[in-house]
Amino acid sequence: MITARGVTKRFGRLAVLRDLDLDIPRGQVTAIVGPNASGKTTFNRIILGLVRRDAGEIRFDGELLNGDSAYRARIGYMPQIARFPENLRGRDLVDMLTDLRGPHAARDEELIELLALGPVLDQPLRVLSGGTRQRINAALAFLFRPDLLILDEPTAGLDPISSSTLKDKILRERTAGRTCIVTSHVLSELEELADHVAFLLDGEIRFAGTPEELKRGTGQPTLERAIAQLMRRGLVAVPSTHAARGVA
Amino acid sequence: MRTILQIVRYELRNVLRNRWVIAYALFFLIATELLLRLGGSSPHALLSLLNVVVLLIPLVTIVFGTIYWHGSREFTELLLAQPVPRSALFHGLFAGLVVPLSAAFVVGVSLPLLAHRALTADTWGLLALLLVAGVALTGVFGALAVLIGGLVDDRLKGLGIALGVWALVALVWDGLVLWVTVAFARHPLEAPLLALTFANPVDLARVLLVLHFDVAALMGYTGAVFDRVLGSALGTTAAIAGLGVWMVAPGLLALRAFQRKDI
């Protein structure tokens, strides 16, 4: 679905992504993990065109991203921190995005219902709590049945009920053939979601493959321990080239 | 184009809920009303309004605009994750800033004049010019605000620069012109003074109006030079064109910065 080759980004003197190659396979959930400031969010935002890459190329369904915006009709993005125009109501946002996507865009309001957002949508966003905003944020990402979901720390700030509702939804979308990129620090949670894991450190992919390969390669029983092992070593731990290059 | 209009619509809804804009319209309403009651005849009221317009519109527009641009980051972030081109969002946001401020000014000034039936055949023309000057200044300082807001990420710093720009063009400039006239009194000054006028949008707006009021005493030095060198018709055209350049140039720079920016 997504093919990234040689993607490089610096903020001033800080290199955030260095010559990054990564494939996001279609119809599966790819988890991007890594410590803070390893470049996960930047990678997501480069796919969306929010951040401009300095070098390298990204293809979406084989098509090179070059500053055009139409491909974003097929993406649903849930940013890490939901920042909304304060004076609008949730319903205004839903209406506005529906307007922008055009009348033919498919709609999926399941999460609005499941996350009990109905009454909340009529209040100005500024009065809502962080968790409630995060629920709206999630519902908006799924609203137009996107082919690709980019979820940045989706469960941060959600209560356990909302969090598992969201995870169930992700799994249902995968069954429906949609592709999903999830970043998270809560690795135990990725265990039940991820078909693929990409481990990012200092702006480089240090491992890419299935969770089983990762666990086998590090000799650890869980994803969390396997990743911890990788982070302690801080170097390429598992032969990862076939996974990084192979799946498309 | 459709996308731009949709963005403007939602931005308008957002801005109109902001009490600043309402207060701004009320201010012009009350100021015009007061000037009409105190000043009596409407050419005088319009002339006094001119002074309010050339000082206040730049100040409010550049300050409000810089705050607005920083405040629209959330909107920007949300919309750029949608199938929305950056240029469409930029134009939508710019219109969302300039349209309500211009409307507040036009409505605030026109209503009392119309209610008092204070307009005669020649003051209609003056009112039209005053409205053109006010809307042009809103556009110019809106564009400058957007440029400052886009280039300076720090809110306070941006606000400081905005206030600095306003103080320079609205206050310090007159002093500079005066100094030039005094210091070079023995030299022909038409060309440099003309250049100085074009270098300052506030001066251009003032000249635009002063050319049409029969009040040589109020013209000031630059107004007189404008009248003498360019004449009334050419002077008006040149002033409007100058204001147009002052809006488009910073606007284009801001658009370029916006298209390259990491959100």
B138 touches chain A (CB under 8 A): no
Q: Is the pTM of this model over 0.95?
A: no
For residue B101, the tally of other CB atoms under 10 A from its CB is 28
Determine phi and psi for A52, rounding to 5 degrees: -90, 130
Tell me which residues of chain A, numbers 89 to 108, contact chain B at a CB-CB cutoff of 8 Å: 92-93, 96-97, 99-101
The pLDDT mean for chain B works out to 87
pLDDT for position B46 = 78
The size of chain B, in residues, is 263
Match 């349209």 to its residue by tokens: B99
Res A245 pLDDT > 50: no
Q: Do A101 and B80 touch (CB under 8 A)?
A: no
What pLDDT shows up at residue B166? 96
The gap between the terminal CA atoms of chain B, to the nearest Å, is 23
Closest partner residue to B82 (CB to CB) among A84, A85, A100 is A100
Q: Report the distance separating Cα B166 and Cα B59, nearest Å.
A: 6
- Tens-place pLDDT, residues B38-97: 876 667 777 788 888 889 999 999 999 999 999 888 889 889 999 999 999 999 999 999
Mean pLDDT in residue range A40-66: 93
* Least Cα separation, residue A60 to chain B (angstroms): 14
Q: B19-30: per-residue pLDDT in tens?
A: 889 999 999 999
Please name which of B130, B136, B121, B93 lies closest in space to residue B254, comparing C-alpha atoms.
Answer: B93
Strand order in the sheet with A29-33: A75-78, A148-152, A179-183, A29-33, A196-201, A204-209
Q: How far is A28 from A237, CA to CA, in rounded Å?
A: 24
H helix intervals, chain B? 2-16, 19-39, 42-71, 73-80, 86-115, 121-151, 155-167, 173-183, 190-198, 201-210, 216-260
Chain B (67-96) residues lying within 8 Å, Cβ to Cβ, of chain A: 72-75, 77-86
Predicted pLDDT at A247 = 38
A73–B contact, CB cutoff 8 A: yes
Q: What pLDDT is stored for residue B149 in this prediction?
A: 94
Contact B81 A77 (CB under 8 A): yes
- The nearest alpha carbon in chain A to B263 belongs to A50
Kindly determine whether residue B81 and residue A72, on different chains, have CB atoms separated by under 8 Å: yes
pLDDT at B7: 87
Which two three-digit tokens encode residue B214? 């029969």
Rounded Cα gap, residues A61 and A65, in angstroms? 10
Contact A87 B18 (CB under 8 A): yes
ipTM of the predicted structure? 0.85
Write out pLDDT tens, residues A93-123: 898 899 888 878 888 999 999 999 999 999 9
Residues 6+ apart with CB under 8 A from B54: B133, B137, B170, B202, B205, B206
